[in-house]
Amino acid sequence: MKIVKVIVFCVVSLFVCGCAKQNNCRTFDMTTHDFDRWDQLVSVEKYIVLEETDNSLLSGVDKCVIGDSAIYAFCRKFDKVYKFSLEGKFLSTVGEKGRAKSEYLGISDIAYDQSSGDLVVADSRGLLWYDSSLKFKKRMAMDDVALFDFSSEGDILFYGQDSRYSVTCLKNGKIAGVRDKTGYAFFSDVFYRNQEETMVVSDYGQFFIDRYKDGKLSRIYEFDMGQDALPENMRPLSSPEFEKVDDMEDYFKCLQRACETKTWLYTEFRGPHHCIYKGYINKKSGQVFFGKAPFDEAYGIVGTYQDQFYALLYPEYVGENSYMRKFVVDNGLQDVHNPVVIFLKLNEKL
């Protein structure tokens, strides 16, 4: 009898603990997605024009990170990383192309290591570290690094690196699985930093955000897409299946980007009819502003800096009737070809 009581107690304890852990996860209702008053919600507080020189003409930026003293812009087309001052002055490119240990070929991602101030570049042969003066420090040999980032604990997280796991980590010199692979690896902006925490966006066909800590993931946000969510049995397992599913007119396919400040959570979804939907969620009030992203606004949020969202704006693509047009004209940006880093302010009284 005593053994039975102990077993029952353990089962009940595990159930209670599991529920407590689940209760720490917030769920947001995203079933209403017709918000369109972006001009009333979002405004530009300040901006930085990335200087155009013969050596810094950017046709597009695939990733932009802001460090303690510089802005780094990665352009996949030119296979280069550009360094700008925090005022936008072009300083130099990072490293050199080539096959030497200190050189790179085929850049796939960049990340800023906040603990050391180093810029780390992923290429076809692994990771390269450059200090704040862009002096080469070291290389870590690895195969097929696609996406990576650092945790506050000094671990390195990887996405799409393993056939069994979608997310792995390098901890204490060893690679370990962090999230089981459940479908096709879709390479979006999987990782972001929230203060001192590293967050991991869900895989294709799922809608949640996890927090990484000490080699494990715990669920922190879930997004209820209702009947518009891609059904579980339709999640692609291969490249041909992915192309077929992603080309469908129906369903929200995935959460492809997220970042957050102390007050706001920004989310970006691949939605129905090949459209991008964005959502701003006030974490204090629970308000959700979710709707189709206007194509002619010509900017995309890429991260946070000093508790503020920043985005890359392409002035020449801002539409004549876009709510961003007045900002472009008022600041004389019509003829600027390089991206402009804009810092956004959100209206908490809407």
For residue 279, give the nearest of 318, 305, 307, 309 by alpha carbon: 309
DSSP H helices in the chain: 2-23, 38-41, 239-246, 325-330
pLDDT value at residue 8: 38
Q: Could you read off the pLDDT of 173-191 as tens digits, one per residue?
A: 999 999 999 888 898 899 9
pLDDT value at residue 22: 52
pLDDT value at residue 342: 98
Whether 63 contacts 110, CB under 8 Å:
yes
Percent of the chain clearing pLDDT 70 (strictly above): 93
pLDDT value at residue 113: 93
Whether 15 contacts 21, CB under 8 Å:
no
For residue 71, give the nearest of 311, 264, 259 by alpha carbon: 311
Q: What is the pTM of this model?
A: 0.91
**For residues 119 and 112, what is the distance between their CA atoms, to the nearest angstrom?**
5
Residue 226 has pLDDT above 90, yes or no: yes
b/e for 103-122, b at 16 or more Cβ within 10 A?
Answer: ebeebbbbbbeeeeebbbbb
Place 276 in a pLDDT band, splitting at 50, 70 and 90.
Answer: very high
Q: Could you read off the pLDDT of 67-116 as tens digits, one per residue?
A: 999 999 999 999 999 999 999 999 999 999 999 999 999 999 999 998 89
Q: Write the CB contacts of 282 (distance below 8 Å, at least 6 apart in sequence).
A: 263, 264, 288, 348
The stretch 222-242 carries a mean pLDDT of 95
Q: Could you read off the pLDDT of 187-218 as tens digits, one per residue?
A: 889 999 998 899 999 999 999 999 999 999 99
For residue 325, give the nearest of 301, 293, 345, 297 by alpha carbon: 297
- Greatest Cα pair distance, the chain, in angstroms, is 82
For residue 50, give the nearest of 82, 76, 75 by alpha carbon: 82
DSSP per-residue string spanning 93-145: E-S-BSSSTT-BSS--EEEEETTTTEEEEEETTEEEEE-TT--EEEEEE-S--
The stretch 228-248 carries a mean pLDDT of 94
**For residues 134 and 269, what is the distance between their CA atoms, to the nearest angstrom?**
35
pLDDT value at residue 18: 33
Place 23 in a pLDDT band, splitting at 50, 70 and 90.
Answer: low
Average pLDDT, the chain: 92
**For residues 80 and 101, what is the distance between their CA atoms, to the nearest angstrom?**
17
Length of the chain: 350
Which one has a higher pLDDT value, 4 or 218?
218
SS3 content of the chain, % helix, strand, coil (to 5): 15, 40, 40
